[in-house]
Amino acid sequence: MSEHLDCVIIGAGFSGLAMLAHLREAGLQCVVVDRQDGVGGTWRANRYPGVRTDSDYPIYSFSFSPEVRDEWRWTQRYAPGAEVLAYLEFVTDRLDLRRDMRFGMDLQRAEFRDGTWHLTFADGSIVSCRYLISCMGILDQPIWPNVPGLDTFEGILLHSMQWPSEGVDLRGKRVGLIGLGSSGLQILPAIAPECAEVYVFQRQPNYVVDSTFFPVSDEEMELTRRDYDRIWERAKAHPFGVDMVVPDHGAMDVDDDERRRIFESKWQEGGHHFANETFHDLATDPAASEAASDFIRSKIREIVTDPVTAALLCPTDYSFNGKRVPTGHRYYETYNRPNVHLVDVKSVPIARVTRDSIVIGDSAYPLDVLICATGFDAMTGPLTRIDIVGRHGVTLREKWADGIRTNLGISVHGFPNFFMSIGPQTPYSNLPVPIQLGAQWVTRAIQFADQHGIQLEATPESEEWWAAEVDAAGRKTVMYEEGLKAKAWFFGANVPGKPRELLVYMGGGQKYQELCRAAEADGYRSFRA
Ligand code: N01
C-alpha cells in the first residue's frame, strides 16, 4: 500500500472511532490503521476473565450519534468487556466506519518531511498524510514483572492484556497471580471458582470499592435514552467526567457516625460513586482521604474472615486516591475461599521463577499457570514505542526524555499537524467524555487550519505554561503525595527508570474543556508555532 491521505488515525478503539466519524463528516479523507485484527483497542486486547468497565454504561458510550443511542441496548450497569467490544463493533457498522479502516497495520515510523507525514508500517506499506492523529489510548504497552527466571517458566504464562481470545482453561489448575491493580482484582474472583488453587502474590494492597452489577431493565434503558442529553451535560461538567453531582459537604464537616453512614450508602455502588458522591474532598483533603481509607480498611476486616489475610489486604503505606480507584466485584470475599492464598511479597520479595514454580524466601509455590496483571507503561508508552519524528529530526521519545511537553495534551512543538487524543497531560477522567470532546475539538482545529492555510503545532510558551498548570493542579490534590508513595502509574512510578512526573491533568475535565474552548476562541494562537 502506498497512498496519500488527508488524515491517518492510529488506533481503532473509542478514540479512533470518534475521530474518524467526526473528521469524515467534516469532509476529510481519513483512514484508521490498527495493529490488531479488528476494532476495539483496549477492549480487544484486554479479554481476561472478569474484565468490565468501572463506569456506568450511559457515560461509557458516545453521545454524538442518535442512531447508536437509540439502537444499542446495554445489559449491565458496568458492562462486561465483551459487551463493550460488541458496542464498538456496532458503532463501527452503524456509522459505516469499517470501509476506512485497515487492520494488522503496525506503525513503525512516522516522519514529518516537506510539510507531510510519511508513515512506514511493519509490512512495508508506506502512507503519507497531512494530519497524523494518535488514538492509541493510554495503556497499550504491557509491563512484565522484573523477576529473575520469568522466561524459564514452562507452564502457561499470561499477561492480563494479552489474554488469548479463545480463553484459557484454568479448571483444576494451580494458578499464580501477580498484580492487584484494576486488572488483577477483576481476574481473581472470576477465576478462583474453577482453579484448584490460586496463589495471589501481593506487593502492595489496593483500596477496592465493591460494586453490584445490576442488570439494565428495558424501562431503565428507555429512561436513559430519553434523558441522554442531560446525562452527557452533567458528565461534561463533572471533574471526573461522570454523571454525578459533586456533594456540597466535606468528610470532616460531619461527625463520625454520619461520615460512616454516608460512606456505607455509596459502598455498594462502586468506585466512582464512592469516590465522587460521598464527600467533595476525598481527592483534595488528606484527612478526608484518610477517613475513606479507614472506612475501607474496616470493610476489609468485616468481610475477610482470616484476620492475618485481612491485615495484609489493608493498605497502610498510602491513602485512598493514591492509586486510580478500582471497582471490584466480591474481591475481598474471594479471600474467604479455601483455595485462595494471599502471599505477601513485600516483606519477602519474589526471589525467582523456575520452570514450574515461584520461589519466595524458602518456599516454592508450584504453578501450572502464572498470570501477570502487572500494568502498563501508561500515557507516554504508546507514543514513545514508535519512532514519531518531528520537523527537527527529533523523536517524541527524545523530546520527552527530560519531561513531557505538550499544549493541553493535544499538540507538541516540533511536530506540526500531529494531534493526540487523550495524550499525556490530558484529564484524569472517565475517558469516553474527553475522547468525544477531543475528537470534536481536533476536527474543528483541522477545519480552521485548512481554511487559513496554516499548520498547527504547540508553541514552546504554551508547552511551558501547560507543564506548570499540570504540576500545579496535581499538587492541589492528594493524588500527588499519595500517588508518589503508592508508585502510581499516573506518575510513571510503576515503570523502572521512567521519570517521575504527572502524566495526567488533575485539575478536572470541566476546567480542561474550558481551556480548550478558550484556545479555540483565541484562534488557536497557542497552536501556531
Ligand atoms: O495495572 P496497575 P492494571 N511484583 O499498574 C503489581 C485501567 N483499567 O492493569 O502496587 C509484584 O494498576 C503492582 O504492585 P505495586 C485503570 O486505569 C481499568 O491493574 O506496584 N507485584 C500492582 O498491583 C487502571 O488503573 C479497568 O506494588 C507487581 C499491579 O502489578 C489501569 O488500567 C480494568 C510487580 C499493577 O497494577 C492499570 O491497571 C483494568 C512485581 N514485580 C484496568 N510488578 C476498568 O475497570 C507490578 N506489580 C475500566
pLDDT tens-digit profile of 140-149? 999 999 999 9
DSSP readout, 386-422? SEEE-TTS-BHHHHTTT----BTTTB-TT-TTEEETT
User: Which atom of ligand 1 is nearest the CA belonging to 327?
Assistant: 45
Phi, psi angles (nearest 5°) of residue 232: -65, -40
Query: Could you tell me the pLDDT band of residue 2, with boundaries at 50, 70 and 90?
Result: low
- Write out pLDDT tens, residues 370-418: 999 999 999 999 999 999 999 999 999 999 999 999 999 999 999 999 9
Cα separation of 86 and 83, whole Å?
5
Burial class (CB in 10 A: 0-12, 13-18, 19+), 370: buried
> Look-up: residue for cell 457516625?
257
pLDDT at 20 (0 to 100): 98
Q: Which domains does the chain have, with CATH numbers?
A: 2-141+377-527 (3.50.50.60), 209-372 (no CATH)
Query: CA-to-CA distance for 131 and 128, rounded, in angstroms?
Result: 9
Q: By C-alpha distance, which of 56, 244, 62 is closest to 72?
A: 62
C-alpha dist (Å) from residue 511 to 118, 285, 514: 35, 19, 5
Cβ of 75 below 6 Å from ligand 1: no
324 lines ligand 1 (CB under 6 A): yes
Residue 210 confidence class, pLDDT cut points 50, 70, 90: confident
Question: Quick check: 75 pLDDT over 70?
Answer: yes
Q: How confident is the model at residue 214 (pLDDT cuts 50, 70, 90)?
A: confident
Q: Is the pLDDT of residue 174 over 70?
A: yes
Between the two ends of the chain, the Cα-to-Cα distance in Å is 33
Average pLDDT over residues 33-52: 97
For ligand 1, atom 40: residue with the closest CA: 145
- Which cell numbers hold the place of 135? 488514538
Spatial separation of the C-alpha atoms in residues 120 and 112, rounded to whole Å? 12
| All cell numbers assigned to 521 | 476562541
Residue 323 phi, psi (nearest 5): -125, 160
pLDDT of res. 269? 81
Mean predicted confidence (pLDDT) in 502-508: 98
pLDDT at 1 over 60: no
Give the distance (Å) from ligand 1 centre to CA of residue 184.
Answer: 7
Cα(181) to ligand 1 centroid in Å equals 3
What's the pLDDT at 393?
97
Determine phi and psi for 283, rounding to 5 degrees.
-100, 0
Sign of the alpha-carbon dihedral angle for 50, 51, 54, 58: negative
Residue with CA closest to ligand 1 atom 13: 179
Identify the helix (H) or strand (E) that includes residue 84: helix 81-94
- pLDDT tens profile 306-324: 999 999 999 999 999 999 9
Q: Do 391 and 147 contact (CB within 8 A), yes or no?
A: no
The answer to whether 127 and 1 have CB atoms below 8 angstroms apart is: yes
> Quick one: pLDDT at residue 387?
98
* Ligand 1 neighbour 328 (Cβ under 6 A): no
Digit-coded pLDDT (tens) for 265-305? 999 887 689 999 999 999 999 999 999 999 999 999 999 99
* Phi/psi of residue 116, nearest 5 degrees: -135, 150
Task: Output the pLDDT for position 170.
Answer: 98
Q: How confident is the model at residue 28 (pLDDT cuts 50, 70, 90)?
A: very high
Instruction: List, for residues 247-269, the tens digit of each pLDDT value.
Output: 999 999 999 999 999 999 999 88
DSSP 370: E
**Ligand 1 within 6 A of 430 CB?**
no
3-state secondary structure labels for all residues of 481-529: HHHHHHCCHHHCCCCCCCCCCCCCECCCHHHHHHHHHHHHHCCCHHHEC
Taking CA atoms only, the protein residue closest to ligand 1 atom 17 is: 324
Q: What's the pLDDT tens digit per position in 350-370?
A: 999 999 999 999 999 999 999
Residue 325 and residue 182: Cα distance in Å, rounded? Answer: 8
The answer to whether 120 touches 132, Cβ cutoff 8 Å, is no
Q: Which residues contact 514 (CB under 8 A, 6 or more apart)?
A: none
Alpha-carbon 205 to chain mean position: 19
Whether the Cβ atoms of residue 298 and residue 311 lie closer than 8 Å to each other:
no
Q: Is 272 in the pocket of ligand 1 (CB under 6 A)?
A: no
Assess whether pLDDT exceeds 90 at residue 454. yes
Question: What's the rounded Cα separation, in Å, for the pair 7 and 100?
Answer: 11
Q: Grid coordinates standing for 66?
A: 442518535
Over residues 20-42, mean pLDDT: 97
Alpha carbon 303 to its chain centroid, in Å, reads 28
Q: Kindly state the percentage of the chain with pLDDT values over 90.
A: 96
Pocket flag, ligand 1, residue 54 (CB < 6 Å): yes
Does residue 154 have a pLDDT over 80? yes
Average pLDDT over residues 451-462: 98
Q: What is the pLDDT of residue 212?
A: 79
Three-class SS of residue 131? Answer: strand
Percent of the chain with pLDDT over 70: 99
**Which residues, in sequence order, are bridge partners of residue 457?**
528
pLDDT of residue 299: 97
Q: Is 377 in the pocket of ligand 1 (CB under 6 A)?
A: no
From 203, 317, 329, 342, the mutation candidate for ligand 1 (largest count of ligand atoms within 8 A of CB) is 203
How far, in Å, CA of 421 to CA of 9, rounded? 10
Nearest Cα residue to 240 out of 211, 210, 273: 273
**Alpha helices per DSSP H over 375-454:** 381-384, 396-399, 432-452
Q: 35 Cβ partners below 8 Å, 6+ apart?
A: 104, 105, 106, 107, 122
Counting from 1 in the atom list of ligand 1, the atom nearest the Cα of 184 is: 19
Binned at pLDDT 50, 70 and 90, residue 518 comes out as very high
Q: Which of 270, 283, 207 is nearest to 238 (CA)?
A: 283
State if residue 374 touches ligand 1 by the CB under 6 angstroms criterion. yes
Residues ≥6 apart with Cβ < 8 Å to 239: 246, 429, 507, 508, 509, 510, 511
What distance in Å separates the CA atoms of residue 111 and residue 349, rounded to the nearest whole number? Answer: 43
The residue assigned the cell 487492520 is: 103
377 CA → ligand 1 middle, Å: 11
State pLDDT tens for residues 103-151: 999 999 999 999 999 999 999 999 999 999 999 999 999 999 999 999 9
Distance CA 510, CA 503 (A): 18
